[in-house]
Structure 1
C-alpha cells in the first residue's frame, strides 16, 4: 500500500520561483518506504530556491537524472548520490540514511549493494550529533505508546521498525513539526501513516486480529473460547471505525491507556477523546456487545 506522509500544518511561505521546467510529481509506483524519505527531500529542494541545473554540478548527476531521482523514476538511487544531495540541501544524514536503507531493503536490494553504495560516507552521514533536543525529548515521551499502538496492527519486529521510521521521518520534517499547531498531533499523523503503510488490509480496512494476539485483552480471552470469539469480533468492528475513533478505541481498549494518556499521545483535547469514544461505543454496541470500559 502506498501512503502519503504529508501532514497537516500551517500554510508555508510560497516556494521561490525558479527558472526552467517545473519538477513533476512523485510517480504513482513509488512505494511507501521510498516515499518516506523522498517527500521530505523534495520539500527541502522546493523550498531551497536551488535549480536542478545548479544542483547537478555539485551532486555530480545529470539534470535529467536528478529530476528522475526527485520523482522516484528509474533505478533506486545509490546512497553516495543521496548523501551529496542531502549535503547540498542541509538535510540531516541519520534519519535520511535510515529511511533510504529501509526502502532499499524493501525494493529487494542486497546488503552487499547497500554497503557498496555508501562509498565510505555512512559513518559521517549517520552520526546523530545534530539531533534536536526537542526531537529526542518527544520520542522518549511517546515511544511506549507508539509501540503499543503499532503492535496492534503489526506483528513481530515490524511494529518496532514502524516506530523507528516514524521518528526518522519526524526528524526530517522537524521544522514543519515545530511550526505546526501541535507537535504531538503532527508526530501522531506520521505514526498512523507509517503503520497503515505496513499493515495488512481486508476490504480496505486494517486487519487488527492477526497482529493483536500480544494485547492484554486477547491474552486473557485465549483461555475462554467464547470470549476469544467476542474479542476477534471486537477487533473487526473497531477496524471499521473512522480514523479518529479507531485510534482512540485502539489506545483505550486494546492498549489500556487512560483518557489523559490518549489525549497526550494524539495531541487532541481530552474532550475530543471522550467524544470519539462515546461515538465509537455507540457504533460498537450496535454491532457487538462491547466489553466493560476501563475506568478513567
Structure 2
C-alpha cells in the first residue's frame, strides 16, 4: 500500500522539462548581499523567467521597465522594487500574485521600507493579490504536513517567528510549484524550502543553528518531572543540544524529528522524502558522533538515554 506523495505513486509526478531556445544574454547571478527574505521571492521569479522563452528586452517592454533595470531587478541590485513592477512581472510570467506579494512585503520590511511606502506601492493592485487559490495538490500536501512542519520549526524559532516561517514556506512552494512537479520527490522539495526558511531565521552561533527553543522546553519539562534535576544534568543537556546542532544537515533533521519532535522513523522518512534506510543510517551516524562528543551520565548507555 502506498501513501500520498510517494514518487512512484504520485498522481502529479515529475514533469519532464521541455528544452527552451531563447536568444539573448541571461541576467547575471543574484548579488551576494541580497537578503534571505529578498531571495525568497526573487529566486522563484528568476526560475520562472529562465524557464520561459522570453528575452529581457521583450519582457521589459511588457512590464514597462528598461532592459538594464529589469536585469538589475533580477539580480537584486539597485533600489528595492515597487510592487506595481513586480505585479506586472508576475502577470507576464504567469506567477500567482498572492504568495509573491506576501514574500515581497516581508522583504520590503526587512529592507527598511515603511508600511506607508508598502501601502502606496500596493494600493493600485490590491485586488489582484486576493482570491487566488493554490493547486489542489499543494493544498493537500499542506494539510498533511503543516502541523509537523511547525514542530520542526519550533526547535529553532520562537513563537513570534514560527508561524511566519511555515506560512512563507508554503508561499514559496506555491511560487515554485512547477519546479516541485519536475523534482524527483515533492516531499523532499518542500522540505528543502522549509529547512532553508527556518535556518535563515534561526539564531546562529559559530556557524551552527542554536536549538534554544528546544533546550528551554526540554529543561522545563525535565524540571517539572524531576524537581531534583541537578546542575550537572542540566549542563549535560546543554552540551547535548550543542552537539546536535553541529551535525550535518541530514543527520540534524533526523535527530530533531526523531528525538525532539518524537516522530517515528517512518513518519520522518515521509516528511523528508528519503528512504527509511537513509533515516536509520543518519540516526546511527549521529548517535556515534554524539557518544564521542558528549559524556554519558553515570549508569547510562549513551548521551541520548
SS of the aligned residue for 1:153 comes to: coil
Specify which of 185, 210, 213 is matched with residue 211 of structure 1.
213
Decide which moves more: 10-19 or 262-271: 10-19
The question of 1:160 aligning with 2:163 is answered yes
Counterpart position of 2:11: none
Shift of 1:10: 9.1
Task: Judge conservation of contact 1:206–1:239 (CA < 8 Å) in 2.
Answer: yes
Whole-Å Cα distance in 1 between the matches of residues 151 and 145 of structure 2? 10
Counterpart position of 2:48: 44
Q: How many residues align?
A: 280
Specify which of 257, 263, 271 is matched with residue 257 of structure 1.
263
The question of 1:119 aligning with 2:123 is answered yes
SS of the aligned residue for 1:120 comes to: helix
Q: Deviations over 1:151-197 (max 9, x none)?
A: 11111321211111111111111111122111111111111111111
Which ranges in structure 1 are unaligned for 5 or more consecutive residues? 1-8
Decide which moves more: 155-164 or 89-98: 155-164
Find the structure with the greater CA-based Rg: 2
Whole-Å Cα distance in 1 between the matches of residues 198 and 129 of structure 2? 26
SS of the aligned residue for 2:124 comes to: coil
Which ranges in structure 2 are unaligned for 5 or more consecutive residues? 1-13, 297-302
Counterpart position of 2:196: 193
Decide which moves more: 264-273 or 72-81: 264-273
Q: Which runs of 4+ in 1 moved over 6 A?
A: none
Specify which of 5, 17, 23 is matched with residue 18 of structure 1.
23
TM-score normalised to structure 2 length: 0.87
Shift of 1:286: 1.4
Task: Judge conservation of contact 1:24–1:71 (CA < 8 Å) in 2.
Answer: yes
TM-score normalised to structure 1 length: 0.89
Task: Judge conservation of contact 1:52–1:67 (CA < 8 Å) in 2.
Answer: yes
Whole-Å Cα distance in 2 between the matches of residues 285 and 169 of structure 1? 38
Whole-Å Cα distance in 1 between the matches of residues 277 and 114 of structure 2? 49
Q: Deviations over 1:227-262 (max 9, x none)?
A: 332221111000111111100001111111111111
Whole-Å Cα distance in 2 between the matches of residues 94 and 61 of structure 1? 22
Shift of 1:213: 4.5
Specify which of 275, 281, 285 is matched with residue 287 of structure 2.
281
Pair 1:22–1:182, CA change in 2 (3 A) = closer
Task: Judge conservation of contact 1:27–1:71 (CA < 8 Å) in 2.
Answer: yes
Task: Judge conservation of contact 2:16–2:182 (CA < 8 Å) in 1.
Answer: no
Task: Judge conservation of contact 1:143–1:163 (CA < 8 Å) in 2.
Answer: yes
